[in-house]
Structure 1
Amino acid sequence: MTAKKTVYSLFMSFLVLSLAACSSTPSDVAKVSAKEDKKSNEVHTAHWTYEGKTGPEHWADLNPEFAACTNGKEQSPINIETAQVIEGEEIADLAINYKPTSVTLSNNGHTIQGTPANPDNSIVIDNKEYKLAQFHFHTPSEHQINGQNFDMELHFVHKDVNGQLAVLGLMIKEGASNPYLEEAWSGIPTEVTTEDVQLTEPIDIMSLLPKDIDTFRYNGSLTTPPCSEAVKWVVLETPIEMSKEQIDTFRKIFPDNHRPILPLNQREVKED
C-alpha cells in the first residue's frame, strides 16, 4: 500500500469513528445526565419514616446529609429530669408575640403542619427575634419530663433573619376538648396533600398556650432529618389539653410520629 493510500485509509477510519461518536453522544449524554439527575433527586428526597429500615435508627444511612442524626452530640428530643435542671442562673429573656392569624394546613406524610399567613407572629429570645414559620404535631410527645411522655407535642418552629432556628415545644395531655384547635381539626387533611388546605377561621395561637409560661431551655436539634443542630429549644413546663376524640383524630392519620429520646451528653437544661 502506498503512503498516500495509508494516510487516506487512516483518515477515513478516523472520520467514521468520529461520526459514530458524534451521532451517539447527545443521547448517551442525555441518558447519563438523566440517571445522574434521578440519583441526585433520590438522595435529596431520601424517604424516611418512623419505623423499620427507614426509621430513626437508620436516618443517617439514608442520606449523607442526615449524618447528624447519628453523629450529632446535641440532638433532640431529650428527657428533662427536673431534679437535674439548673435553676437560679441567668437565662435569656423570652417574649412570645402571637396574634390570631389565618392558617393553611398540609399533610406532608410525616405530620400535620400549619403555616400562618401573618408574618408578625414571633418570639424574642435575648433580644433576638425569631419569626414563626410553621407549627406541627407529634404523638406521643417527643420530649419526656421525668421519663414520661405526654399524649402529643406541638412544635412552633421559628427562624431569625440569619436562618437560625428556635422551637417552642408544648406538651399536650388528654383532657377537655381544645376549642382553639376545633377549626384546624375540622379541616385536618387525612391524606398527603399537594396543595395546602385553607382554614375558614383564624387560629388564636396565643390562646393555645398555657397561662403559666415557665420554660425549660437547652441547645438541641431538629427532631427530623437532617437533624441539624444549633437549635434553641424552649419547652413549656405546663401542658395544654385536648380531648380523647381530638387526639384520636390525629392518631388515625399518624399512629406514632415521634423520634425516641437522645442523650443529653454535656448539655445543661435551664429553667426560668
Structure 2
Amino acid sequence: MPKNAAFLAKDSAPAVDNGTMSRYLFSPTYFRFWLASSLLIVACLQPVHCNAAQWLSIKKTDANQLMVDKQSLVEEKAYIKAWVKVDYREPQKNVESVDRVYNHAKALWYFDCAKRKAATIQVFQYDQGELVYSAGTTLKQADFIEPLPDSEVEITQQYACKWQAKEKQRAEAAANRAANPIKPAVASDKDKPAATNSVAEPAATAPAEEKPAVKADDKSAPAAKPATEKPAAKDPLVKDPLAKDLATKKAEAEPGKDKAAKGNKEDKSWAYSGARGPEKWGSLNPDYAVCNAGSQQSPINVDNTITAALKPIKRLQKFPLKNIALKDHSLILDAGSGNMMVLDQKPYQLKYISVHAPSEHQIKQKSYAAELQMVHEDKAGHRVIIAVMLEEGAANSTIETLLNSIPKEKEQSKALAIRITPADLMPAKPAYYRYTGSLTSPPCTEGVQWIIMKEPLKIAKGQLTSLQQAIGEPNLRPLQDSQGRMILE
C-alpha cells in the first residue's frame, strides 16, 4: 500500500513508525484477533452468507490502479469503512522489511468524514498472489490522522464520504415517499410531466392517458398548455394556472413579467443552469427526488468496460420522422410510428429523438460536440435509449436538412418536408456500449437501458454553431457517479 498512508495504530506490539507501513508481530491477543478475522474470511467463502466483492476502479495511473469494494462500504458508528486494494506495475518494498516486496495490497480503512481523518485497521501484501506480509489492529486502538493530499487514502476518503452523503439523500427521499404516498419520488413510466426525455411522445401515449404529453404536431394552444405548464404550477412562485382571474390581475399589475412569460413558454419547473439547475432538481418537486437520491443516474463517463461480445442490435428504422420542434430545453424530432428495435428479444418502439449540445455522455473522458438520444419504449413503458455522438468534421447533409427545418420560435412544431429516417442518423459501424441508467432530465426515472454507439457522426463546425444557437443554452446534465455499474461492450 502507499507509503504515505497512516497504516497501523499504537498497540501492544513493538513500536511502529507513525505514517508508514510498519512491522507487526502477533502477540497472543492479536493472534486471536487475526484468527477471528481469518475465520470471517473463510465464512464469506460461502455465497449464501456473504456478498461477493465488487471492485470498482476509482483511480488508474501508469504506476498503479486503486480500487474499492463497493459491497464493503458500510457506516459503522461515526465512521465509514471500506476494503481497498492497489495493484502495482512495479514491485514495492515493504518499509519495515526491505527484503520483502509486493505488487498487490489490500487494506481495511476507516474514515471519519466529519473530521477528514482516516485509519488503517488491517493490511495484507501479496507478491504474485502469495501473501508476504499482514498486520492489523482494532478500531478502538487505531490512530486517525489526516491523509496526505492526493494520496490513495485521500482519494478513497473522498469517494467514501460522497457515498455517505448519497446514502443520506436516499434515506431522506425514502422518508419523503413515506410521508407523501400520493406523490412518489420516482415517477411511474406512464406519468410523463414536461421534460426533455418524456414530453414529445404524441402518438402512442396521448389517447390512453388522462394527462397526455404535448404532441409535436399539435397546433392547438389550449390543448398544449396544460401538459407543458403543469410542472410549473407546482412551483410556489407560480400561481395556479386555473386561477385565471387572479393571474390576470397580477399580469396587469406586472406587465413586464407578463410579457416575458408570453415570450418564453418553456417549462420553468427546472432548467440546466441557475437556481433551478441540475443540482437543485431533486428538491424542486417530490416527483424529481430520485434526481439527487438515485443510484443509477445518467449520463456517465463510459470507461472501465467489460468485454461481453454484444450482438448487433436489430433495428427497423426505415419510416420517416414526422415533425421537428424546439421545446423543453431541447430540439425534439417526433418519430411517428413504425420505427422500432429489439433488445433482449423484446420489441421497443421509437418515440422521439432529442438533441443535446454538447454531449451529455463522455466516452473514456472524451466529450463530443452533440448527442442524439433516440428514446424507445415497450408496451409496459420500459425505455431503451440509443445515443449517437456528433463530432466536428465534414458537413452532414442530414443534419443540414434538419437545421433548415427548425422552427423560428420555441414551442412550435414544424413538419419535415424532406424524408429523413432514423437510419440516416445512425453510424455505419454497429459496435456499442451498454449500461443501465436513467433519464437525463426530470423526473430522472431509473431502469433505462442505454445503448451508446461507439462510432460518432461527423458534423461541420458551422452546423454545430447553428444547432447550438437554435437550442439556446447548453442542455446537458453534468456527469453522474457510475456507482460501480457494469458497462458492457
**TM class by smaller structure:** 0.7 to 0.9
- Does the CA contact (< 8 Å) of 2:312 and 2:431 recur in 1? no
Aligned to 1:270: 488
Aligned to 1:13: none
Structure 1 residues 71 and 182: CA distance shift in structure 2, 3 A: same
Q: Determine whether 1:216 maps to 2:438.
A: no
1:151-208 alpha-carbon deviations (Å, 9 max, x no partner): 1000000000111000000000111111122221101124312x42111111032122
Aligned counterpart for 1:98 among listed residues 317, 320, 327: 317
Aligned to 2:305: 85
Structure 1 residues 93 and 128: CA distance shift in structure 2, 3 A: farther
User: 1:51 and 1:40 mapped to 2: Cα distance?
Assistant: 17
1:66-118 alpha-carbon deviations (Å, 9 max, x no partner): 0110000000000011xx1000x36476212101414201111410100023x
- Does the CA contact (< 8 Å) of 1:74 and 1:221 recur in 2? yes
User: 1:39 and 1:161 mapped to 2: Cα distance?
Assistant: 25
Q: Specify the SS of the correspondent of 1:247.
A: helix
Structure 1 residues 40 and 133: CA distance shift in structure 2, 3 A: closer
- Does the CA contact (< 8 Å) of 2:231 and 2:269 recur in 1? no
Aligned to 1:11: none
Amino acid across the alignment from 2:380: N
User: 1:263 and 1:102 mapped to 2: Cα distance?
Assistant: 34
Unaligned runs of 5+ in 2: 1-228, 236-266
Aligned to 2:282: 60
Moved over 4 A (4+): 38-41, 90-93
What displacement does 1:149 show? 0.7
Q: Specify the SS of the correspondent of 2:444.
A: coil
What displacement does 1:244 show? 1.1
User: 1:209 and 1:80 mapped to 2: Cα distance?
Assistant: 19
Q: Specify the SS of the correspondent of 1:270.
A: coil
Q: Determine whether 1:241 maps to 2:432.
A: no
Q: TM-score, normalised by structure 2?
A: 0.45
Q: Determine whether 1:71 maps to 2:262.
A: no
Structure 2 counterparts to residues 106-117 of structure 1, below 5 A: 106-117=325-336
Unaligned runs of 5+ in 1: 1-37
What displacement does 1:146 show? 1.3
Q: Give the length in aligned residue pairs.
A: 229
Structure 1 residues 187 and 48: CA distance shift in structure 2, 3 A: same
| Larger proportion of helix | 1
What displacement does 1:46 show? 5.9
Q: Determine whether 1:48 maps to 2:242.
A: no
**Is the deviation greater in 174-183 or in 38-47?**
38-47
User: 2:397 and 2:418 mapped to 1: Cα distance?
Assistant: 12
Q: Specify the SS of the correspondent of 1:101.
A: coil
Percent of aligned pairs sharing the same letter:
32
Q: Specify the SS of the correspondent of 2:234.
A: helix
Q: Specify the SS of the correspondent of 1:261.
A: coil
1:187-235 alpha-carbon deviations (Å, 9 max, x no partner): 1124312x42111111032122111110000000000100000000000
**Is the deviation greater in 175-184 or in 234-243?**
175-184
- Does the CA contact (< 8 Å) of 1:102 and 1:201 recur in 2? no
Structure 2 counterparts to residues 173-192 of structure 1, below 5 A: 173-192=391-410
1:218-256 alpha-carbon deviations (Å, 9 max, x no partner): 000000100000000000011001111111111113231
Structure 1 residues 207 and 49: CA distance shift in structure 2, 3 A: same
Structure 1 residues 154 and 267: CA distance shift in structure 2, 3 A: same
Q: Which has the higher contact order (CA 8 A, sep 6+)?
A: 1
- Does the CA contact (< 8 Å) of 1:103 and 1:115 recur in 2? yes
User: 2:231 and 2:320 mapped to 1: Cα distance?
Assistant: 38
Q: Specify the SS of the correspondent of 1:49.
A: coil
Structure 2 counterparts to residues 107-146 of structure 1, below 5 A: 107-117=326-336, 119-146=337-364
Q: Specify the SS of the correspondent of 1:74.
A: coil
